[in-house]
Chain A
Amino acid sequence: MATPKSRPRDGYPGRALALILVVTVGLVALMFGTGHTKPRLGIDLAGGTSITLSAKSTDPKAINKSNMDIATGIIEQRVNGMGVSEAEVQTQGDRNIIVNIPKGGDKQTAADQVGSTANLYFRPVLALAPSGLQAPAPTDTPSASGSAAPSATGTPAATGTPSAGATAAAPSTGATKQGRPAGEALAADTTPTAAATGAAATGTPSAAATGAAATGTPSAAATPPATPDLSAAMTSGTVPPELAAQFAALDCSKLEQRQNHQTSEGAPAVACSQKQEDGVWYKLALGPVAVFGKDVSKAQATIDTQQGGGWQVQLQFNGKGTDAFTAVTGQLASQPQPANQFAIVLDGQVVSHPYVRGAIPGGSAVISGSFTQAEAQGLANQLSFGALPLEFTTSDVTTVSPQLGGDQLKAGLVAGLIGMVLVVLYSLVYYRGLGLVSIAGLLVSAALTYSIMSLLGAGIGFALNLPAVCGAIVAIGITADSFIVYFERIRDEVREGAPLRPAVQRAWPRARRTILVSDFVSFLCAAVLYVVSVGKVQGFAFTLGLTTALDVVVIFLFTKPLITLLARKKFFSDGHPWSGLDPKRLGARPPLRSTRRRNPSSSAAVKEA
């Protein structure tokens, strides 16, 4: 650590202090500003919703332990994607799965999501028409594009630039280098929707984020509709005769009609769009299934970096899916409007029906629609965590009271508070003036922990359960521990007869090493548990990791600079009996080296470890 001459020996503690105080105040302000002033509580503390799912299957043999376990795992992934929402998924008996979702979660969404079988099909579009409309409105067709290079990690999001008359090319390494494969498919007259919606910008992951984006009005730049033919019953394409009556009767603006109309995978079917497109519900006639959802090997929500930052879903097919997808996109490319589109049908509703301009080889594709972040992630989730091995019906949704009466939480908090007071008293009695520093440090830690937890409740659905509360109470000890390590080091230096300012500096590298090594061990523990485990344990591991990380932040940015500042104050540097640094009390050796004391910079060079 080379230091310029002008720099004081003990650095600029004020800057670090200012930084952490600004951050703390900022987080607390954000917490009050967004109105998330309380951490979400787990089901054991706040109660929640209990959903009972019953498996049903045409084949009674299919309902067995291993299938139930797979289903439990998938549902766990769906309701608890980040692993910190404290949702509990457990089997009950031999055909039921119970899903407990803490209060504050989106009950309806959760209930919809958990049991849905997410059967996903790619079907060619035969015809489409707006339905339940008084006046026609332009369509807004999303686009699909693929990348020619199969990549296990999913190619970076890029719905490429429109390339008029792109031709299909064999996958080649060259293609990846260009970033955009030649198999590019994009209709020149589509609007890459997401730009028209400000959804991505707000980035609110809550399902409650109003569907403003979903039904967003088209931007001014929206291109003319792809189906200008408003006369012929506003239908474009050819409806197969066997579906004609059904198609004509279908009114997708009515909720009860937007159900799953698919009867067989090998026969054409009608379907409704899942969302309104420019305020219009579309109905579509679809050909037989071309690619199956189970052939999607991976799906993730990404931000479309090239087209104005909307949300999209990237897909990766397995071998079988890749072949089928390449074939169907090749076929569709030569068709006239709208038969050059394929529909992505999820549980009987059309999520998106993008154009195809050329065969898309390589096994990866992008679905871009007017997705909000939550929608894109939800879709990606459903695709990745795929089809459940069994079909489930929701047999019961009830709200349950907290498993532990409110008195348990109250007692926990009271105990935590008493514990905190005891710690404060102890450090005041033992460390006197320095004890004040540890109190201030604990307060900063508490403010940071509390505000981060509250914000995470809204951010990633983090919920606090009783074990996590206990973990936080233990964290008081760990945080205080770091202070003690440093204080004792300083006192050791003072015992050696060092004046306080150099003592504070010299004690730091050694205390720092101890703190870092031991905190690393704690953090490793948290990280391993987080990666390996599920449910409650994962939530706890998250809490432990968070508090450990904050411990390091507080000691580096708060405690150390504060002590450095205080060491400049007479009260401490002269070793006032109440400062906790009284050399006499500490039994410092007689100052033989008084010369050095007057000139602390002679040999007391700080060795940075």
Chain B
Amino acid sequence: MSRFSNLGHKLYQGEVSFDFVGRRKLWYSISGVIVLVAAIGLTMGLHLGIEFKGGSVYTVAKPGLTISQTQEAVDKIVESHPLVQSTENGKIRIQVSSEEKVSSSVITESLAKGLGVPVQEIEAQVIGPSWGEQISNKALTGLVIFMILVTIYLAIAFEWRMAVAALVALIHDLLITIGVYALVGFEVTPGTVIGFLTILGYSLYDTVVVFDTVKENTKDLTKQNKLTYSDAANAGLNQTLVRSLNTTVVALLPVAALLFIGGGFLGAGTLNDISLALFIGLAAGAYSSICVATPLLAQLKEEQPEMKALAKRVAQRRAADAKAEAARDAGGEDGEDGSGDEQPAGMVGQRGRAAGTTRAKGRPSTNR
């Protein structure tokens, strides 16, 4: 762990640096592939629960009948593992989704056989798909309104480019999560819808935290000629990398516990439905805020004329530096951050400076 903590220090000082922004193409292709797979999964369709699909409910009254007995009998008849509950007056209620190819009359007869009760004593009711529809429609409305509002907010708090990048990352996370659902074939219940909505808040939360550092790191950027926007953004990412990893780990731990422990002990269930959505969503959220949102932001920013000009100046300076170095053919490293006393102005915030000045120290990573 101490090594990890050391790594944090090295990352912060810029001694170790991962070039996230520069490997944009790699991230985009990874994301592209995942989203594509998710989309293919979606075309196969989602496995919707009874609240969405409608279905049928059977009520059986037989003294001494247990839930587990009923569940066994029912599972022999239909494949969808219907929900079995007991009601107050010793009755047992079975919910079968309408996806079942088996018709309700057949189910009634088979149930009667399997449980040893007369057919007349099994009440069957058919449920319409109104409720899940209603909940999801309203959730969807909420989602759209929220996206609009949050884009406006981020555009004001940060800038429109950040808002766009954050939104893209958010959609990316949602797509991946829904796609995995389709692929795994887990049931989508109103609970799952709620899981998706949680991701929404968290994915943005994560992105906002990263962008906050990037914003800080790219302040007064045009006043120097050592770093391009991408370099500065990348330095910011590296500085917050440990924190991002920590926050993600800390958020994932409880969810992982839910997923593996809940699922391990009980098999499939509502807990699993929700925690799977959360797990995928949180992981995707952490990944996208670093590898999708920030590179995209840098890409958008580099289009700005002043940033283009800056990139040009930086390139010129680097070329000049390289020449000078070659001429000296001795390796007096430039930008050594020993004492931090001889830093060129601009990028380096000395201690005692106003909070908010950037502190990207060390050499910019240019593994290109």
Contacts and interface: CB of A to CB of B under 8 A. Distances in A.
A481 B208 CA distance: 13
Nearest to B243: A488
Interface stretch (B1-9, B177-185, B307-315): B1-9
B198 interface: yes
A418 to B, nearest CB: 4
A477 B252 contact: yes
Interface stretch (A89-97, A250-258, A381-389, A565-573): A89-97
A267 interface: no
Given A88-B131, A403-B83, A408-B271, A480 B251 contact: yes
B37 interface: no
Nearest to B275: A470
B4 to A, nearest CB: 7
Contacts of B194: 467, 470-471, 536-537, 540
B141 interface: yes
A426 B245 CA distance: 12
B107 interface: no
A94 B54 CA distance: 12
Given A408-B270, A467-B195, A422 B153 contact: no
Contacts, number: 286
B103 interface: no
A607 B355 contact: yes
A438 B59 CA distance: 50
B87 A484 contact: no
A412 B258 contact: yes
Contacts of B304: none
B77 interface: no
Looking at A403, A471, A517, A535, the one whose CB has the most chain B CB atoms below 10 A away is A517
B365 interface: no
A532 B200 contact: no
A411 B204 contact: no
Contacts of A521: 150, 153-154, 201, 204-205, 208
Given A534-B135, A592-B341, A478 B257 contact: no
Nearest to B352: A603
Nearest to B240: A488
A495 B146 CA distance: 39
Interface in B77-92: 83, 85-89, 91
Interface in A397-429: 398-405, 407-408, 411-412, 414-416, 418-420, 422-423, 426-427, 429
Given A470-B195, A484-B243, A524-B153, A513 B212 contact: yes
B138 A532 contact: yes
Nearest to B264: A411
B114 interface: no
B135 A607 contact: no
Contacts of B201: 521-522, 525-526, 544
Given A399-B88, A408-B271, A521-B205, A477 B250 contact: yes
Given A477-B250, A529-B142, A93 B266 contact: no
A509 B254 contact: no
B261 A415 contact: yes
Nearest to A604: B352
B253 interface: yes
B281 to A, nearest CB: 10
A550 B361 CA distance: 36
A520 B216 CA distance: 19
A423 B198 contact: no
Interface stretch (A140-148, A305-313, A583-591): A583-591
Contacts of A496: 351, 359
Given A92-B128, A587-B9, A481 B250 contact: yes
Most buried by A among B135, B150, B253: B253
A5 interface: no
Contacts of B91: 398
A419 B356 contact: no
B193 A532 contact: no
Interface string B266-308: 1001110011001000100000000000000000000000000
A518 B209 contact: yes
A411 B261 contact: yes
Interface string A492-512: 100111100000001001100
B33 interface: no
A473 interface: yes
B293 to A, nearest CB: 13
B130 interface: yes
Contacts of B316: none
B46 interface: no
Contact of B12 (A88, A492, A513, A604): A492
Given A92-B125, A510-B355, A524 B150 contact: yes
A484 B88 contact: no
B72 to A, nearest CB: 15
Contacts of B200: 525
B90 to A, nearest CB: 11
Contacts of A540: 194, 197-198
Interface in B189-232: 190-191, 193-195, 197-198, 200-202, 204-205, 208-209, 212-213, 216
A528 interface: yes
B261 A471 contact: no
Contacts of B125: 92-93
Nearest to B57: A92
Given A90-B131, A398-B89, A426 B249 contact: yes
Given A480-B250, A587-B6, A537 B138 contact: yes
Contacts of A478: 202, 205, 251
B239 interface: yes
Given A509-B355, A540-B194, A423 B254 contact: yes
B326 interface: no
B138 to A, nearest CB: 4
Nearest to A420: B254
A474 B255 contact: yes
A470 B274 contact: yes
Nearest to B9: A587
A536 B190 contact: yes
Contacts of A82: none
A586 B5 contact: yes
B124 to A, nearest CB: 11
Nearest to A405: B67
A233 interface: no
Interface in A526-560: 526, 528-529, 531-537, 540-541, 544
Interface of B: 1-2, 4-6, 8-10, 12-13, 51, 67, 83, 85-89, 91, 93, 125-128, 130-131, 134-135, 138-139, 141-142, 145-146, 149-150, 153-154, 157, 190-191, 193-195, 197-198, 200-202, 204-205, 208-209, 212-213, 216, 239-240, 242-243, 246-247, 249-258, 261-262, 265-266, 269-271, 274-275, 278, 282, 339-341, 351-352, 354-356, 359
14 contacts: A72-B130, A93-B125, A405-B67, A412-B258, A414-B261, A416-B254, A467-B195, A481-B250, A491-B8, A495-B12, A506-B355, A528-B146, A536-B135, A607-B354
Given A403-B83, A518-B212, A586-B9, 15 more contacts: A92-B125, A93-B128, A418-B257, A422-B253, A422-B254, A474-B278, A481-B250, A518-B205, A520-B153, A521-B153, A525-B197, A533-B138, A535-B190, A541-B197, A604-B352
Interface pairs A-B: 8 shortest CB-CB? A419-B254, A477-B251, A399-B88, A90-B131, A587-B9, A532-B142, A419-B257, A467-B194
